[in-house]
Amino acid sequence: MMRAFLQPILLLFVFFIACKKESKFTSTQQTETPKGMVWVVGKTFLQGAKASDAFAMPREKPGHKVTVDGFFIDSTEVTNAQFKTFVAATAYVTIAERAIDWEELKKQLPQGTPKPHDSILQPGSLIFNKNVNAVVNMNNYQQWWTWKIGANWQHPEGPASSIEGKDAFPVIHIAYEDALAYCKWAKRRLPTEAEWESAAQGNNASTIFTWGNDPAILTTNANTWQGTFPVKNESTDGFELIAAVKSYPPNSIGLHDMLGNVWEITSDLFNVNHYQELDLSEEIRNPTGAKTSYSPSNPYQVEHVIKGGSFLCHVSYCASFRISAKMGVSIDSGSDHVGFRTVATPAMLLEK
C-alpha cells in the first residue's frame, strides 16, 4: 500500500469526473553464523495451505512439497536501529520521503486519469486509523487506512511522531526498493517465499503456525489483534499496535516474530494463480515464485509477496497469522505494518 493507496482515491476521482535433498551446508561449521542471524537447515517441507487450515485462501492452494537449501536468516525483523545505521552510512532516502513523481505514478493508473491537486501528491505513507468507530463494508479497507503526509520510517505516525526510544522496533514504512537498498549495503538479500516458509516452519515441516497447529496460544506467541477489528483492540497480548522485536517467544530454531507484528517483504512476485499453475509432477527445488505479477484487485501494479501477517490480523478479517498466508504489496508502497528481514547463503558470505 502507501502510494498504491492513492490509486483507489484517484480512481474515485476519475469516477466522479467521468463516471528433499539436504543442503551441502547441513550445519554452520563451514561458515560462521553472522551476528543476529540463524541457520535454517536445508529440507523438504509442505509449502502453502495445510489440509487442516480452515482459513487457507485460494491463493495459498494447493499445498505442495518443496525442497529448499540451507541459508541464514535474520533472527528478527530489521530494526529502526539497524536501518538508522544504514541511512547514516549511505544517506539513503526512502520512497516515503521522496517527492511523488506523477509521471511514474500515472503509469499504474488507467489511461487518462487526471492529475490530482498538488496538495494530495505529497510525500507520505499509509497509517492505520485508530479512530474508526464503525465499519460498513469489511471489503473497503480505506475505512481503516489513512494516507498521512509526512509519515515515514523516522516519523511512523506523521511529522509530529518519532522513533526516539524505539531502536528495537521493526523499521516500517519500507517499500520493496528500500528493502533492496538495505540488502545491497548489508550484503544480504530478501528471502524467497519458500525460504521464508522454511524458516517459519523451523524444525517442523507442515504446521499451520510457527509453534505448531494450536490456535489457542496465538496471543502468547504473536502480536495480533484481539477484540473487534478494526474498531476495538482489547490488547490482551499487551500491545495495541506494533511491538518491539523479541517481545514474543521464538520458534523452534530461534526466529522471532515470523507471525504477527509486521508483514515481511519477500523477493517473489505476487500472483494469485501461481500455485494452481505449478507442475507438481516434478521436484520443486529452491523455487523463486511466479514469473509475472497478477492480482485482480490491483491489475495495474507490480506486487511482491509479503508474509507473516501483522498486529492488525484478526480471525474476522484476514487471519494471516499463518505460515502459508500471503498478500501482495506494490513495489513503491509501504505502511506502518510492513517491514522486512534479510537472508544470506554461505556462498554469499564467502564473496569478497
Q: Which residue has the cell 485482480?
A: 296
Mean residue pLDDT across the chain: 85
Question: Is the pLDDT reported for residue 348 higher than 70?
Answer: yes
How confident is the model over 18-41, as a mean pLDDT? 65
Phi, psi of 285 (to 5 degrees): -120, 130
Using alpha carbons, list the distances in angstroms from residue 105 to 13, 115, 149, 175, 319.
Answer: 15, 10, 16, 15, 31
The predicted model scores a pTM of: 0.86
More confident residue, 215 or 229: 215
**Element holding 3 (H helix, E strand):** helix 3-18
Closest CA to 168 of 266, 274, 82, 85: 82
Tens-digit pLDDT profile for residues 160-186: 999 999 999 999 999 999 999 999 999
Q: What is the pLDDT of residue 227?
A: 75
For the four alpha carbons of 223, 3, 265 and 136, in that order, the dihedral sign comes to: positive
Q: How confident is the model at residue 234 (pLDDT cuts 50, 70, 90)?
A: confident
- Report the length, in residues, of the chain: 352
Least confident among 29-33, 279-283, 315-319: 29-33
Write the DSSP assignment of 163-210 as a string of letters.
-TT-TTSBP-S--HHHHHHHHHHHT-BPPPHHHHHHHHHTT-SS-SBT
Cα radius of gyration (the chain):
20
Q: How confident is the model at residue 18 (pLDDT cuts 50, 70, 90)?
A: very low
Using alpha carbons, list the distances in angstroms from residue 31 to 26, 235, 346, 349, 351.
Answer: 11, 42, 6, 8, 12
Closest CA to 95 of 340, 303, 301, 331: 331
Residue at 46: amino acid letter: L
Q: What is the pLDDT of residue 28?
A: 45
End-to-end CA distance of the chain: 36
State the Cα–Cα distance between residues 9 and 352, nearest whole angstrom.
Answer: 47
Q: Which residue has the cell 523499521?
A: 171
- The residues, any chain, with a CB within 8 Å of residue 317's CB and separated by 6 or more, are 138, 225, 229, 230
- The residues, any chain, with a CB within 8 Å of residue 223's CB and separated by 6 or more, are 237, 239, 242, 243, 247, 248, 257, 260, 261, 310, 311
Tens-digit pLDDT profile for residues 56-98: 999 999 999 999 999 999 999 999 999 999 999 999 999 999 9
> What's the DSSP call for residue 104?
H
**Element holding 4 (H helix, E strand):** helix 3-18
Q: What is the pLDDT of residue 109?
A: 64
Mean pLDDT is highest, among 12-16, 299-303, 319-323, for 319-323
Phi, psi of 194 (to 5 degrees): -65, -40
Check if the beta carbon of residue 67 is closer than 8 Å to that of residue 286: yes
Using alpha carbons, list the distances in angstroms from residue 6 to 128, 133, 166, 247, 274.
Answer: 15, 23, 28, 33, 27
Question: Is the pLDDT reported for residue 263 higher than 70?
Answer: yes
**SS3 (DSSP) at 103:** helix
Instruction: Give the number of other Cβ atoms within 10 Å of residue 283's Cβ.
Output: 11
Write the DSSP assignment of 276-324 as a string of letters.
GG--TTS--BS---BSS-B-TTSTTS-EEEEES--TT--TTTT---STT
